[in-house]
Structure 1
Amino acid sequence: MIPAIQHSVFLYLVLSCLYPSHAAQGCLNKQKVLTVIRQMQQFLKGQETHFTDGIRTMKAKLSALQISVTKLTADQPSATWCPLLEAPKHGQKFGSRYSADHEVHFVCQPGYQLIGSSTRVCQQNGRWSGVNASCTEWSDLSFSRKPHCAEVERTQHCSCDAGFHMSGSNENSVCQDVNECEVFQLEGIARLCMYNCINIPGSYRCTCPPAYKLLNDGRSCSDVDECATLQHNCTAGETCINTGGGFQCVNPQCPEPRGNISYVKTSPFQCERHPCPMNSKSCHHAAKTISFHYLSLPSKLKTPVTLFRMATAAAPGRPGPDNLRFGIIGKNNQGQFVVQRSDRQTGELILVQPLKGPCTVEVDVDMSEYRDRTFQSKHVSKVTLFISANGF
C-alpha cells in the first residue's frame, strides 16, 4: 500500500473511533491515535515541501526559457532593405527584390551605352554595391580613337584595338570603327543577326522585334509564347493560340442550323452533325464532322511545305471506306494550296506559294469517304494560318 493511501486508511480509523456511534472493539487507543495524527502531520508537511520545491523548479525553468528565447530573438539580425532603384532613362531594370543579397540588373536600349554598374547587389548595411547606372547615346567621337604606338628600332609602329582599323598617314593615323553590320550585309556573307544589327564602337549588338527574346548566342531570336507564360488576355471561353510575335484568342462555333441539318460542339475544336432523317439526302451529304485547326507560320516560308494531314479510320467491327477523295472548298485559295493523297488513308494540304505576313489565311479541306463507289460521309477541316511579320 502506497503511503498516501495508508495514511488515508489510518485517518479513517481514527475518525471512526472519535464518534461513539461508530465505536468498535478494533478501535485504536488514545496513544496510537495521537501517533497516527503526528505521522499525518509530518506526511502533509513533506508533501507541502515537495510541492513548493516543484513550483520553484518550474518557475526557474520558465525563467531560463524566457531568457533564452529573448536572447535568440535579439541575436537574429533584422531584415535589411536597400532603397528603391529606378530604371535609367533609355534603359531597363531587371529585378524587384530589394532585400540583402539580392541583385538588380540594368541594360540600355539599342544605340545607347551603359555608364555605371550593370549589376548592383543589396548589401547587409542597407546600401547598394556599385554606382548609379545611366544610358548615354553613342557619340560619333566614340567611333574613332587614337592608335597605340611604340617606337621599335627607331621605327614607329601603331596598332588599333579589336573592331577598329587604321586610317590616315603614319603621322596623323587614327583608328576608325569597323561597321560589322554593313560588312556582313553584303551578298554572299552570312548575317550577323537574325533580325537587326546595331553597330557600336569596336563591336555590334543584335536586337529582336517586340514579343521576341534574344537567345544566349547573342544573335538568334525566339518567339515569346504568351499562351504558355499566361501573358494573354483570352477569356474563359476562348483558347489562346501562340503566333509569331503575339497570340490569338479563338472560340470556333458550329454552323447555324439549316433545315434538318444541325451540329453540336463535342470539343473546343470539333462539331458533329446530329443524326439525319432517313429520307434526307441533303443532310447525309452535309459534313458529318467539322474540325478547326490553327497554325502559326513565319513570313515567306520556303515552299512547297506540307501543312496538314487528314486521315480516316473505321469504327471497330465495321468496314472502312475503300476510297477517299480530298478537295479544297471554294476557289479563293486554290492557287496557294494543293491537296494530294499521301497514302491510301491519308491526304495532305500543301502550301505551294509563299505567304507574306502579317496576315491571316483560311482554307477549308474536305474528305469524302466512299465504299463500293457509294458515298458514305464527308468530313471538313477548317484550317487557319497566322502568318507573322517576320521570317523566323
Structure 2
Amino acid sequence: MKMELLSRMKAAGVVTLMMMMISLHQIYSSSAQECPPTHDLLNSLRQVEKMLAVHETSYQQGLRSLKKKISALHNSTMAVFKIASCPKPDPPAHGRRLGRVFGIGHEVHFLCKSGYELIGPRTRVCLESLKWSGQQPMCRRLNSTANSLPSFSPASPSSSTSSSSSFPASAALSASSSATSLSHQSPTSSSPSSSVRPSHCTHFLGSTRCTCDVGFTISGRDNNICTDIDECHLFPLGQPGRLCVHQCVNTPGSFHCICPSGYDLTRDGRGCTDIDECENRMHNCTADQLCVNTYGGFQCVTVECPRMKNATYIKTSSMRCERNPCMLGDKACTQAPNSISFHFLSVVSNMSAPRILFRVSAARVLGDTLRFGLAGDRGRGHFSVQRSGRQTGTLLLVTPIKGPATLEAEVEMSELEHNTLLGRYLTKVTLFVSPYEF
C-alpha cells in the first residue's frame, strides 16, 4: 500500500514537470528568430517555482497520512495478538519453564532441577479458550515421603526386595532426576501399570496431537498409549555407550545404576568408586592385624616373621623382619635372607599386562654385583622380575588375572663380591585381585 501511494505521488510529480517543460517550450517556439523578453522568462520561472512548492507540500501531506495509517494498522494487529494469547504461566518452584510464545496452539515445557522430580504434565498447550491445558506442575524433592497428587502418582512399586539387601542404600541412586524413588522396588522389574500409561492428547482446530513423557514412546492405533523405553536393554553392559558401570535398573520413564557392596555411586550416577573401609574405620581387623583396602572390600592380614632352623628373625617394623647375627661358621644361617619385607597390593580384575607392580632398590651396595630374581615357584606364571637400574629391580605382571584371586610373589635381591654371597634380601608381595574391573 505504501509503495503504491509513493508511486502515484512520483507519477504526479513527473506529469507536473512535463507540463512546465511544455510551457517553456511554447515560450521559446513563439519567437523562433528573436530572443524572448526577459520579463516573460522570469514569469515562467516563477510559475514553475510555485508549482514545485505546491507539489512538495502535497507530497509531504500524503507521506504524513500514510504514516498514520500504517501506525493504526500496526496497533490494531498487535491488539489482536495480545487478546488471542494465554496468560504467562509461572515456572514451578525448584524448576523452570521452556517457551516464550503464549499464543493459541503454542506449547510450553517444564523441567525440574537436579534432585527433584516433576509431578504433573511436562507440556501444556494454549487452548482456544485462552486457558492452558492440564494442571500446573510442581517439583518434588526425590526420596520425599510426602504423597504426590493422585492424578499423577505412578503405580505402587513391586514389593519384592530380594536384591536390595545386597547393595548399600547410597548406591541405589537414580541417574536421572525424572525417575521416581525406588528405594523399596526390585531392581529387576517394574509393575506393568507403570510401564504403560495413556498419552497426553490436545485437540486444536479439528486435529489431535498426542505426546508422551520423557522416557516413553508413543504407540497404539490412535497414538493413545505411552510405553516405557527400556534404556538398560538399549545400552547393555559391556557394550560401547553403556549407561552403568555395574548394573542398570530400568524404571518407568528412566533408569538408575547400582553398585556392588563396597562401592559408592559417583556424582554422575553411573560410575562406582571404591569405599576405603580401612581409612573410614569400617573394618573389623584386630589390633595386631593390618587392614588392607581392596577394590570392593578389605583384608585383615597378620605379618609374622618366619621361623627357620638355623636363623632367627626379629620384627623391626610392622612390615619388616631382620635376621639376628649368625654364629661363626654357621653356613645355613648365613644363606638365609638378611631381611624380609612384606607388601600388599590391590588391583582390579583383568588388568592389562605387562604392567609394573613394584620396584626393589638397594640403599647402598657393599659388593660388586647385585642380582634380582623370583624366589621359589610362587607366581612364576603371572610375574617376572627385570633389571631397571644399577641398584633397582622391577616386579612385572605379565598376564591379566581374573578376580577374585590372591597371588603371592617373592622378589630376591642378592649381593655378591667376586661371586661370593654377601647377603640376600627378600620382598614378599601379596596381590589382592578384585572380582570387578573397576
Matched, 1:206 2:272: no
Asked if structure 2 preserves the Cα contact closer than 8 Å seen for 1:313 and 1:320, the reply is no
Q: CA RMSD in A?
A: 2.9
TM superposition shift of 1:351: 0.7
Counterpart Cα distance in 2 of 1:195 and 1:187: 9
Counterpart Cα distance in 2 of 1:159 and 1:330: 70
Check 1:307–1:390 CA distance in 2 against 1; reply closer, same or farther (3 A cut): same
**What amino acid maps onto 1:192 in structure 2?**
L
Alignment of 1:293-332 (within 5 A): 293-314=343-364, 320-332=366-378
Asked if structure 2 preserves the Cα contact closer than 8 Å seen for 1:251 and 1:268, the reply is no
Counterpart Cα distance in 2 of 1:218 and 1:172: 33
Alignment of 1:41-190 (within 5 A): 135=184, 138-169=190-221, 171-185=222-236, 188-190=239-241
Check 1:184–1:263 CA distance in 2 against 1; reply closer, same or farther (3 A cut): same
- What is the match of residue 65 of structure 2? none
Counterpart Cα distance in 2 of 1:201 and 1:209: 23
Asked if structure 1 preserves the Cα contact closer than 8 Å seen for 2:359 and 2:392, the reply is yes
- What is the match of residue 103 of structure 1? none
Counterpart Cα distance in 2 of 1:186 and 1:273: 52
Asked if structure 2 preserves the Cα contact closer than 8 Å seen for 1:212 and 1:222, the reply is yes
Counterpart Cα distance in 1 of 2:212 and 2:367: 76
- What is the match of residue 59 of structure 2? none
Counterpart Cα distance in 2 of 1:146 and 1:335: 61
Matched, 1:265 2:315: yes
- What is the match of residue 280 of structure 1? 330
Counterpart Cα distance in 2 of 1:205 and 1:146: 23
TM superposition shift of 1:108: 11
Counterpart Cα distance in 1 of 2:271 and 2:171: 19
TM superposition shift of 1:188: 4.9
Counterpart Cα distance in 1 of 2:170 and 2:303: 42
Check 1:235–1:288 CA distance in 2 against 1; reply closer, same or farther (3 A cut): same
Matched, 1:251 2:297: no
Counterpart Cα distance in 2 of 1:294 and 1:90: 41
- What is the match of residue 340 of structure 2? 290
Counterpart Cα distance in 2 of 1:154 and 1:189: 45
Cα-to-partner distance string for 1:320-364 (whole Å, 9 max, x where unaligned): 444321111222421111110111111111111111111211111
* Aligned with 1:353 (options 390, 396, 399): 399
Check 1:215–1:108 CA distance in 2 against 1; reply closer, same or farther (3 A cut): closer
- What is the match of residue 121 of structure 2? none
**What amino acid maps onto 2:349 in structure 1?**
S
Counterpart Cα distance in 2 of 1:238 and 1:188: 41
TM superposition shift of 1:214: 1.2
Asked if structure 2 preserves the Cα contact closer than 8 Å seen for 1:361 and 1:386, the reply is yes
Asked if structure 2 preserves the Cα contact closer than 8 Å seen for 1:226 and 1:242, the reply is yes
Q: Secondary structure at the match of 2:233?
A: helix
Segments of structure 1 that go 5 or more residues without pairing to the other structure are 1-84, 92-105, 112-116, 119-132
Counterpart Cα distance in 2 of 1:134 and 1:341: 54
Asked if structure 2 preserves the Cα contact closer than 8 Å seen for 1:212 and 1:223, the reply is yes
TM superposition shift of 1:144: 1.5
TM superposition shift of 1:303: 1.4
**What amino acid maps onto 1:279 in structure 2?**
G
Alignment of 1:27-38 (within 5 A): none
Counterpart Cα distance in 2 of 1:152 and 1:389: 58
* Aligned with 1:235 (options 286, 303, 310): 286
Segments of structure 2 that go 5 or more residues without pairing to the other structure are 1-144, 146-158, 162-168, 175-179
Asked if structure 2 preserves the Cα contact closer than 8 Å seen for 1:269 and 1:291, the reply is yes
Check 1:187–1:301 CA distance in 2 against 1; reply closer, same or farther (3 A cut): closer
When the two structures are superposed, what TM-score results if normalisation uses the length of structure 1? 0.62
**What amino acid maps onto 1:248 in structure 2?**
Q
Report the number of matched residues.
Answer: 267
Counterpart Cα distance in 1 of 2:201 and 2:422: 88
Asked if structure 2 preserves the Cα contact closer than 8 Å seen for 1:357 and 1:388, the reply is yes
TM superposition shift of 1:374: 3.3
Check 1:322–1:185 CA distance in 2 against 1; reply closer, same or farther (3 A cut): farther
Q: Secondary structure at the match of 2:426?
A: strand
Check 1:205–1:377 CA distance in 2 against 1; reply closer, same or farther (3 A cut): same
**What amino acid maps onto 2:210 in structure 1?**
C
TM superposition shift of 1:172: 4.7
Counterpart Cα distance in 2 of 1:172 and 1:155: 13
